[in-house]
Structure 1
Amino acid sequence: MISIIIPVYNVEEYIKECLDSLLMQTYKDLQILIVDDGSTDKTMDIVKDYEDKFEDFTILYQKNQGVSVARNTAFDYIKGEYTIYIDPDDFLELDMLENMYNRAEKVNVDIVISEYYVYYDEKDSRNYIEKYMIDPRRIYNNYEVMNLMLNYELQGQLWNKFFRTELLKQIEFKFEPHRYIQDAFPVFKAIHLSKGIAFIDKPLYYYRQRATSTVHKKNAKLAEDYYFAMSSIINYIEDKNIKVDKKSLNIFRIKVLSHFIAHYTNAHEENNLKSFKESKYNELSVKNKDFLFLNEISKDDKLKLFLWNCGLYPVLKKIKNR
């Protein structure tokens, strides 16, 4: 059995497509766990229409507390040998779960990861496939995949990752409440403690892009939560003395700072290098010599970081946005 956890909140426009893609899966032994996070639109009216269409379909209710709490609520109800978390505005290829299950069973790994579609609309020219530079025939160890994450060659989101439930139970796979970015650190921890990871080199999941999505918001909390998630990974590596590749960890620090600068300067117009240095975020700082000669860092990131270290980035950003 595969347990599927879906937190829902005001997604009446998308939830039917999501549930239809589950209903038509070629793999049928499913446990559906819906957690209503206090929806106020017609989402739950649509969800209830599916109760009799699945063999094992459970709806859990909570006051609006966010996606992390919703996922944590569902955790104690998991019955399947494998678990996958999906977002209610996304949908799956109809053979996704069969492919994931068969791969996990065949090579006896704790995690299977697939490629995915970045999806705007059916005929939108911006649609593309997120591909990984991996060998799909191989079984990867935890250190190899942690280094992929540190090199930003693998993202930390949940929904394209298929977990052995025993692993999740062993590590108490829970999410930090009330955070916009809550999955990267638990996923990194699961990868570290896994006994093997396999990949499927074809896209099986449609990751929908919405302008109103949480990850597209521009505010101070998003900057804070990004910092919390990424620093949690760095602190975990250091606290556990995990022997990841030093160059990969350096690349991670550099790219984290580059991404953080965008969140930080978007959050408040007055945010600049001076306020950054006076804050806890200063621990993310990197020196010019750490990135200028690294081929793995893009020219755009190098320019952004160089301007940031010179105190010029916020000024030039304001000029550009006029």
Structure 2
Amino acid sequence: MITVSIIIPVYQGKSYLKRCIDSVLAQSCQEYEIILVDDGSTDGSAEICDEYAEKQKTITVIHKENGGLSSARNAGLEIASGEYVMFIDADDVVHSKMLETELKVLKEENADIFICGLKRFAEIEEVDTCAELQIKNCVEIQSGLEIESKLFCGQNVEKYISCCGKLFKKTVFNGIRFPQGRLFEDEYITYQLYYRSERIAVTDIVFYFYFTNPCGITKNLTLNKRFDEYDAQEERIKFFKKKRCKELYQAALLKLLNSAQWDLIKCQKWKEDFDKERGEKFQQQYREALEQAEKEGIVRFKNNYDFYVLAYPEKVNFFRVRRQWQNLLRMIRSKI
């Protein structure tokens, strides 16, 4: 009986793929299928996938042309037959009790998503996937809107943004797929999944071990690649505005403004390092977010030099001279 479909996108993962698959095969709960999606690997990963599929009836392999992580996850979703779905990156490993524990909680609590703790590791020796865990009284049930707020503040935001380390009812993905050809793919959809979920189980107990890969996709990101993150944030702002979720809409605005400031400074200092047209769009996103934030009464950017010069660098000299005149007038008035 297949209850959970575990989707593992694979691309050039020969060095660590076996340990990932082995950690899934070691699960105490056997009500699952593994869908290995070979995304055009050329390093021998495809052959490893086929070797496992020959030995394990629970493993299905999809071989496809390279299309990126989102494309691979979507391909897995299309053939998933389980009532629940889980995503695991091919360089990560999971605790042997992960599936059993998360599935039990979701069924008992009639929850839509289970969110567990994540832990980074650089060497596999740092990980104990069979450690004794005490789950009793360590799980909270929260609403989707409560979880949404955690995307914008507090520590361990990655725990809530990442789709890894979570067990989902497959129905929450109805009409939702990962955006193809984009980085920061999780940021485009997790807020939508939470919004349509009434009950979410959350624990800090670590079931998912995240490999810190120095050659990973999101390591050493250029500014051009980070632009995808701001597109995701802009879509999130529009989503909450459309849904009339005022607090989340305002939080999403502030999130974009705060995270964009340093990258805007880089745009203005190192203009040769990024695509000019894309950089101009990014600056326009910042301006629009500022204007919306001012309408909401969140910021007063027209009286704030730092906000203003980032949004309108072409007016910086005028703004600086005007501020100097204002300071001079104040000095004169104070002496009269």
| Short-chain TM bin | 0.7 to 0.9
Contact 1:219 1:268 in 2 (8 A): no
Matched, 1:84 2:86: yes
CA displacement 1:51-99 (0-9 Å, x = unmatched) = 1443321111111111111111121211111101111011101111111
Aligned to 2:53: 51
Say if 1:216 and 1:147 are closer, same or farther in 2 by CA, change over 3 A. Answer: same
- SS at structure 1 position matched to 2:30: coil
- SS at structure 1 position matched to 2:218: helix
Match of 2:201 among 194, 198, 206: 198
Contact 1:218 1:266 in 2 (8 A): no
Matched, 1:140 2:142: yes
CA displacement 1:169-188 (0-9 Å, x = unmatched) = 3xx23011111111112111
Which structure dedicates a bigger proportion of its chain to helix? 2
Aligned to 1:62: 64
Aligned to 1:168: 173
Match of 1:114 among 113, 116, 120: 116
| Distance in 1 separating the partners of 2:103 and 2:152 | 27
TM-score, normalization by structure 2: 0.75
TM-score, normalization by structure 1: 0.78
| Distance in 2 separating the partners of 1:33 and 1:266 | 46
Task: Give the Å deviation of 1:263.
Answer: 8.0
Residue segments in structure 2 that go unaligned for 5+ positions in a row: 127-136, 301-305, 314-336
| Distance in 2 separating the partners of 1:265 and 1:55 | 56
Aligned to 2:239: 236
- SS at structure 2 position matched to 1:83: strand
Residue-pair matches, total: 287
| Distance in 2 separating the partners of 1:217 and 1:143 | 33
Task: Give the Å deviation of 1:9.
Answer: 0.7
| Distance in 1 separating the partners of 2:116 and 2:307 | 32
| Distance in 1 separating the partners of 2:26 and 2:262 | 38
Written as runs of structure 1 = structure 2, the 5 A alignment for 1:294-309 is none
Task: Give the Å deviation of 1:229.
Answer: 1.4
Matched, 1:99 2:101: yes
- SS at structure 2 position matched to 1:50: helix
- The residue type equivalent to 2:222 in the other structure is N
| Distance in 1 separating the partners of 2:20 and 2:265 | 32
Aligned to 2:325: none
Task: Give the Å deviation of 1:309.
Answer: 7.6
Aligned to 1:131: none
Contact 1:219 1:267 in 2 (8 A): no
Say if 1:33 and 1:122 are closer, same or farther in 2 by CA, change over 3 A. Answer: closer
Task: Give the Å deviation of 1:150.
Answer: 2.3
RMSD, matched Cα: 3.3
Aligned to 2:321: none
Task: Give the Å deviation of 1:255.
Answer: 3.7
Aligned to 1:297: none
Aligned to 1:281: 285
Contact 1:84 1:159 in 2 (8 A): yes
| Distance in 1 separating the partners of 2:123 and 2:268 | 30
| Distance in 2 separating the partners of 1:290 and 1:73 | 41
Contact 2:187 2:229 in 1 (8 A): no
From the CA coordinates, give the structure whose radius of gyration is larger. 2
Q: What percent identity do the matched residue pairs reach?
A: 24
Identify which range, 15-24 or 42-51, moves more after superposition: 42-51
| Distance in 2 separating the partners of 1:262 and 1:87 | 33
CA displacement 1:234-283 (0-9 Å, x = unmatched) = 11111222243566445423443257558868985567xxx669843333
Runs of 4 or more, structure 1, over 4 Å off, are 258-271, 275-278, 284-292, 304-311
- SS at structure 2 position matched to 1:59: strand
Matched, 1:180 2:206: no
| Distance in 1 separating the partners of 2:164 and 2:281 | 36
Contact 1:68 1:177 in 2 (8 A): yes
